[in-house]
Amino acid sequence: MPQHFDAVVIGTGQGGSPLAVRLGESGRKTAVIERGAFGGTCVNVGCTPTKSYVASARAAHVARHAAELGVQLSGTVSVDLAAVKARKDRIIGQSRDGVEKWLRGTDNVAVFKGHARFTGAHTLSISGPDGAVIDTLSADQIFINTGTRAVVPPLEGLERIRYYTNSNLLELTELPEHLVIVGGSYIALEFAQIFRRFGSRVTVLVRGERVLTREDADFAESVRKVLAREGVEFRFGVQPSRVEPHPHRENDVCIGFEQNVPALEASHLLFATGREPNTDDLGLAAAGIAVDKHGTIPVDGQLRTNVPGVWAIGDVNGRGAFTHTSYDDFQIVAANLIDGDSRSVDTRIMAYAVFVDPPLARVGMSEAEVRKDGRAALIATMPMSRVGRARERGETDGFMKVLVDAQSKRLLGAAIHGIEGDEAIHTFIDIMTAGAAYPTLQFAMHVHPTVSELVPTLLDGLQKMA
């Protein structure tokens, strides 16, 4: 007979781990199942490792430009990738071990290692590395938190070459001579700047005519200009059709294109072409759990699937693709099931950042979305060169933008490409979450000298959007 639990959480990502702990602390007999490394994508191959690389890359960049601030350094600035990786691994290890100890040390929480599959609406099997079933569980409530993985396009010749995704690129101990990146979105650009600052030649292949297609064109161009100035090469309107081993250099790659575009040679090839949900091997059909054409699990505002007693949280539900949205999913479920509250993902205001340097951060609607919506709106922009903090630090790239509903005076959206924009954006996030009109922020007294102190000045410049 299966072991019975009040609740089972599948996956220990940023939504699953705290949910399992809250469920256990509430007195529910809870099981949590993890088939890989504790902590999920963010801890192991996402936010934590990449942002540690961003920090190392920034240190190298600042050192190379120290003379601009009157600081003289002798010798050439170089990067020891093995040392960068070792530091990253230490940081990951601390976080991963912390998650596991937290779960195993929580009363009413049992930890299972293995791969979970549904055998019915409320029953699961757990298999080991060899595929043999090692445990069976049943539960009144089941929470799916299995995340996503990198998409690799099915190119001709792919089986003959060495290629990388965000996961295994982080295992390199020697710098690529020439890193070619397929993709023009967030992950692609972060890695492009990291490895260019490390010292690699970097070429980014973009299928369309610009990067960051979800962002306003002016922000996309602002980011591209910074990376291009640092030496990142961009090729637009190209899409690889085939790959093959280099005829003379072991492990190098030749990338072919259609339409008479010359082939490109690379020492390393990274695919940053999107992510897909880890749902294809969960046995969802046996439970009757619906998935859409992308493999994500549709949920309602309270993150419930079509099967009563089963929830999907985190990237797997398609309602957000960030660590903070996953954690917010946990908070919504916990509020509704444990705290007697009534929260919904439908009221969430989307916010995120692209961690290039300087970062691009955004909340709410873009200008393009507001224009498409057709409502009367106010808009203001301001270059970062007007920000004292930016001038003092010698980092004046980028600009701010804010959009306001002309009738209600509530903020519709804002974005910042500039130094510390990933922190300053929270001034907008908090006001929007509170539902306050923009004068609440406009007339606030901010600390000088900071980036946020220019937000009220930005709002002073609001004009009717033409």
Per the annotation, where are the binding residues for NAD(+)?
A: 183-190, 274
Angle at 42 between CA 38 and CA 47, to 5 degrees: 145
Burial group, residue 432, by CB count within 10 angstroms (0-12, 13-18, 19+): buried
Cα dihedral: 30, 35, 36, 42 (round 10): -50
Distance separating alpha carbons of residues 424 and 440, to the nearest angstrom:
16
Does the CA dihedral 184-390-351-84 come out positive or negative? positive
Cα dihedral: 440, 444, 446, 451 (round 10): 30
The answer to whether the CB of 273 falls within 8 A of the CB of 186 is no
Show the tokens assigned to 314.
């985190």
Burial group, residue 111, by CB count within 10 angstroms (0-12, 13-18, 19+): middle
The answer to whether the CB of 198 falls within 8 A of the CB of 175 is yes
| Phi-psi category of residue 349: left, alpha or beta, with phi > 0 → left and psi -120 to 50 → alpha | beta
What secondary structure letter does DSSP report for 204?
Answer: E
Kindly report the backbone phi and psi dihedral angles of residue 384, in degrees, each rounded to the nearest multiple of 5, phi listed first: -65, -15
Distance separating alpha carbons of residues 234 and 227, to the nearest angstrom:
9
Tokens 């492990």, residue located: 251
Give the residue numbers of the binding site for FAD: 51, 315
Distance separating alpha carbons of residues 187 and 176, to the nearest angstrom:
17
CA atoms within 13 A on the CB side of 231: 12
Report the run of H or E that residue 459 belongs to, with start and end. helix 455-460
Give the residue numbers of the binding site: 51, 183-190, 274, 315
Q: Which residues contact 62 (CB under 8 A, 6 or more apart)?
A: none
Question: In a 3-state reduction of DSSP, which class is residue 367?
Answer: helix
Tokens 């050439």, residue located: 76
| Phi-psi category of residue 260: left, alpha or beta, with phi > 0 → left and psi -120 to 50 → alpha | left
Active site residue 446: no
Choose, from 61, 324, 426, 448, the residue flagged as catalytic: 448
Tokens 């085939």, residue located: 242
What are the catalytic residues? 448
